[in-house]
Copies of this chain bind each other. A is one copy, B any other.
Amino acid sequence: MARIVMKFGGTSMAGTERIRRVANIVRKQAAGGNQVVVVVSAMAGETDRLVNFCREANPLYDPAEYDVVVASGEQVTSGLLALTLQALGCKARSWLGWQLPIHTIEAHAKARVESIESDDLVASLERGEIAVVPGFQGVSDDGRVTTLGRGGSDTSAVAVAAAIGADRCDIYTDVDGVYTTDPRIVAKARKLKAVTYEEMLELASVGAKVLQTRSVGLAMKEGVPVQVLSSFVGDDAIPADDLPGTLIVSDEEMEKIDMERQLVTGIAHDKNEAKIILTRVPDKPGAVAHIFGPLADASINVDMIIQNVGRDKGETDVTFTVPQTDLARAQALLEDKREDIGFNRIITDSHIAKISVVGVGMKSHAGVAATMFKALSDRGINIQAISTSEIKVSVMIDEDETELAVRVLHTAYGLDAEDEAA
């Protein structure tokens, strides 16, 4: 017997017919003698509908009331899944965020889970009930509804799994696992049997949008083994003991699963960044703080940063990237601070892409970056900026060359599936 949290996304929950499919997958896990908690998203499109209502009601909406409105989507699907499981003959009941409760901080619309009271939940599991928990929602200390931000249901699932000491947290989504790269770009992309938490964090944050980044961080912190798999592969393809998804595990677990792993696990790309160049910034101590302090205060996430020596002595060009959605805000903010910073011109370019090669293996091997630069240069792809971490090398390139770069690197690191396997 295992204790399992299963999480289903909005596409899987879109309508009563699909919910029946989900219920069948859940029933199979429970019938195998497992204790099962299901965490559900709202029906696909429902959260957008509710968010739009809020915007229409009040463009500058109070996030506390926004949470009251948008949390209702998951309330509906959790009740419906419980009803559907009952129709299949299972004992099932829903547990809303305030009922467990799932305690969060008071930061409405972007709350974080603080703790989950799991006694009632565990007692329910031990009575043989399947527990259905709405994702995305919690309750603050002052007793108001909170939500965890878009994609927050992944985090809910991992948090519930940690709270009840689950053996595994299975995230069912509309892809069937984590791939070496985007299969829409590289036909020979391979599904990974396993990745480490750290690799998944890098892959997720640079564009492999399988899981909410925060949920991976939480899983790493709490040591919850996560598995990504598809709810659309047909019931028979998901036997309880041979699940075909991708496991997300610790380094140590990874060693056991895959002894002969590659240096590079995957190639990610991200077209959602924009480049900002500030020209002729005075090259003196504190100048850079004038740029990045205000951006940080405005919660604008700066990623790659490069400082070029300018044409004139004592001046420098500063290049960095921000999310495209924050570009206009960042630009306005920098114009405001023009005097403090002392730059000459702002040049912006959202026609860029970030390509990253990710792999825990590179910690202990040199030459990964060199291979990247050579492979791109051989195909005439110009690198505009570089950033690295222990398990990642990222480059900024022209957006038009994204697909070419991903394919070139996928081959260069030996990630292409062999024809037999494909």
**Which A residues form the contact surface with B (CB < 8 A)?**
16, 19-20, 50, 53-54, 56-62, 64-69, 71-73, 75-76, 78-84, 86-87, 93-94, 96, 98-99, 143-145
In the bound complex, CA of A75 to CA of B74 (Å) = 12
B58, A96: Cβ atoms under 8 Å?
no
A16, B72: Cβ atoms under 8 Å?
no
In the bound complex, CA of A237 to CA of B112 (Å) = 47
Contact of A57 among B69, B87, B99 (CB under 8 A): B87
Chain B residues, CB < 8 A from A57 = 16, 19-20, 80-81, 83-84, 87
A78, B68: Cβ atoms under 8 Å?
yes
In the bound complex, CA of A69 to CA of B65 (Å) = 19
Contact of A64 among B69, B87, B93, B145 (CB under 8 A): B93
Contact of A68 among B60, B67, B75 (CB under 8 A): B75
Q: Is the interface of A mostly helix, strand, loop or mixed?
A: helix
Most buried by B among A54, A78, A80, A94: A80
B72, A75: Cβ atoms under 8 Å?
yes
A62, B50: Cβ atoms under 8 Å?
no
Chain B residues, CB < 8 A from A76 = 50, 53, 68-69, 72
**Chain B residue at smallest Cβ distance from A52:** B16
Also in contact, A83 and B99, with CB within 8 A (given A69-B76, A94-B68): no
In the bound complex, CA of A75 to CA of B58 (Å) = 17
